[in-house]
Chains A and B, each alone.
Chain A
Amino acid sequence: MLARGLLASARENFNALPRMSRLLSTVKLPDLPYDYGALEPYISGQIMELHHSKHHAAYVANLNKALEQQAEAEAKGDVSKIITLQGAIKFNGGGHINHDIFWTNLVPPKDFEPPTGELEALIKAQWKSLDNFISTFNAQTAAVQGSGWGWLGYNKGTGRLEIIAMPNQDPLSITGLVPLLGVDVWEHAYYLQYKNVRPDYLKAIWNVVNWKNVADRLAAAKK
Chain B
Amino acid sequence: MAFELPALPYDYGTLEPHVDSQTMLIHHTKHHQAYVNNLNAALDKFPELKDLGLVEINKVVGTDKLPGDVATTIRNNGGGHYNHTFFWKVMTNPSNTNGPSGAVKEAIEAAFGSVDEMKAKFNAAAAGRFGSGWAWLGVKEDGSLAITSTPNQDNPLMASLPDSTPMVPILGLDVWEHAYYLKYQNRRPEYIAAWWNVVNWEQVASNFDAAKTGAVLL
A contact set with B: CB distance below 8 Å: 50, 54-55, 58, 87, 91, 145-148, 167-169, 186-188, 191-192, 195-196
Contacts and interface: CB of A to CB of B under 8 A. Distances in A.
B176 A187 contact: yes
Contacts, number: 53
A55 B181 CA distance: 12
B185 A167 contact: no
B177 A187 contact: yes
Q: How large is the interface on B (under 10, 10 to 19, 20 to 34, 35 or more residues)?
A: 20 to 34
B152 interface: yes
28 contacts: A50-B185, A54-B185, A54-B186, A55-B186, A58-B186, A145-B72, A145-B153, A146-B131, A146-B132, A146-B152, A146-B153, A146-B176, A147-B132, A148-B131, A168-B130, A168-B131, A169-B131, A186-B131, A187-B181, A188-B177, A188-B181, A191-B178, A192-B181, A192-B185, A195-B26, A195-B30, A196-B30, A196-B34
Interface string B174-194: 001110011001100000000
Interface of B: 26, 30-31, 34, 72, 76, 130-133, 151-153, 176-178, 181-182, 185-186
Contacts of A188: 177, 181, 185-186
Given A188-B177, A192-B181, A146 B133 contact: yes
B178 A145 contact: no
A191 B179 CA distance: 11
Nearest to B33: A196
